[in-house]
Amino acid sequence: MSARSPELSRRGFLAGSLLFVAGSAVACSTDPTGGAKATLNVWFHAYGEAGTQQAATRYAEGFTKAHPDIAVKVTWVPGDYTTKLNSTLLTAAAPDVFEIGDFNEGLARRGQIAALDDVYGSEKADFNRGDLDYVTVDGRLYGIKTLDDVMMLYYRRSTLAKAGLTPPTTFDELATTAKALSGKNAKGLFLGNDGLGDSALLAVRSNGGDLVTDGTVAFASPQAVAAVAGLRRLHDDRSLLLGFTTDWWDPSALTQGLAPMQWCGLWAMPAIQTALGDDFGVLPWPAFKPGGSPVLRVGGWTSCVNAKGRHVDAAKQFVRWLWIEQTGLQQDWSQSYGLHLPPRGSVAAGAEKLTRGAAQEAVRLAGKYGKSNPNTWDTAVATAFNAAAAKILAGQGDPAALLTAAAAQAQADVDQQRAR
């Protein structure tokens, strides 16, 4: 998943820590026993899918059984994970191993996370090339992608067919379809409770624009301005579902018939299939105009090692054991709790749930149109961009001026990230 706070709140229930010493669970405040020489604190954000916390603790127990000299405390972090992590990394209580959503190269440049080239070893070639590039800073690898999350447009086949409509392939068709499907009891499209969600990011890329290119903020280009400004049509047409009980990461608006089109993630597909059977399809965000670029967003989570921790070698040992050696656990993590793409070719090859129907189509679309956020897309950069986009959608200023000002603000942050 992405590290944006709406997505984090999707997974923002459940909390707690468990410490595994020689395979036995004890209270996290208890000192290690059983011969452990090091205790690792491993942070996960609070995934919303049932069974994830139990899986993480089971993995930790398996590692400790295989390495009885290393105890593992799994810390399950609810709420605004990114803010909590960033603040804790500045203290002595920083975790030894932690996951992050959108990878941020500033962590590597500041010396906060350890290079993991030695952890990958010969298995490096088994990882998706894009995922390797994503965690590469100055030629070194600073994280291991644990799963890829594909975000795309879901639609109800029967609803569009009944209205005599076909799945949209351009933004104009999307807007027209959303308006036609809006009525007294439903809206045509759900992008998020704020009416924005990922749409501004998608709009920029669907018109041939980019967000950050080689350290230069690019989202104030003419292509970007035109595409973000174009999103106002959805608001002016009153085609968007706003203020729903859950946000875009949850498929309930689609499955409950309140919006026949919804932006959501592959993780939700099992729940959608349970509710709707085969009465749904998946699409990329459509090209802004004919000849443009359809796009899906590929997010996910990355495991990193705290370079300033007390047990860096032990932390690397844990990361290698779980995310390199244990392909069976990697398969379990990506396929048993919602649905995700494994970052490794050998694991993906055995992901039977991705070989048919809408899931297979999502994999195909991700391979053709998938885009990850740049690894300089941290909270400050994203906030500047989204604030400008929100003002544009509300008609609160000139789109070009708003994005230019946001780009200048974001550039200062990117420059600071890239400074050593």
Q: Per-residue pLDDT tens for 281-302?
A: 999 999 999 888 999 999 999 9
Cα(199)–Cα(184) distance, integer angstroms: 24
Furthest C-alpha separation in the chain: 69
CB atoms within 10 A of CB 7: 27
Which residues, given as ranges, of the chain have pLDDT below 70? 1-34, 420
Q: SS3 string of 313-342?
A: HHHHHHHHHHHHHCHHHHHHHHHCCCCCEC
| Cβ burial, residue 27 (10 Å; 0-12/13-18/19+) | exposed
Q: Which two tokens stand for residue 168?
A: 């949209």
Q: 100 to each of 36, 113, 298, 304, how far by Cα in Å?
A: 27, 11, 14, 8
- Whether 295 and 391 have beta carbons less than 8 Å apart is answered as no
What is the set of domains in the chain, with CATH numbers?
5-149+299-369 (3.40.190.10), 151-297+374-418 (3.40.190.10)
d(CA 364, CA 343): 15
pLDDT value of residue 291? 80
Task: Provide the pLDDT for residue 184.
Answer: 87
Per residue in 341-356, pLDDT tens? Answer: 999 999 998 999 999 9
Enter the tokens of residue 318.
């844990």
Q: Report the alpha-carbon distance of residue 88 to residue 337 in Å, rounded.
A: 28
Q: What is the pLDDT of residue 23?
A: 39
Separation of alpha carbons 264 and 280, rounded Å: 13
Q: Which tokens hold the place of 348? A: 């993906």
Q: Which residues pair with 301 in a beta bridge?
A: 147
How many whole angstroms separate alpha carbon 128 and alpha carbon 231? 33
Q: What's the confidence (pLDDT) of residue 18?
A: 54
CA-to-CA dists, residue 28 to 21, 66, 71, angstroms: 10, 20, 11
pLDDT value, residue 21:
45
pLDDT for residue 49: 87
Average pLDDT, the chain: 90
- Give me the pLDDT at residue 48, please: 84
In 221-268, which residue ranges form alpha helices assigned H by DSSP?
222-230, 232-236, 252-255
Q: CA torsion sign, 62 to 114 to 49 to 151?
A: negative
Confidence at residue 36, expressed as pLDDT on a 0 to 100 scale? 80
Residue type for 28, please? C
List of residues 6+ apart from 23 with CB closer than 8 A: 61, 62, 64, 65, 68
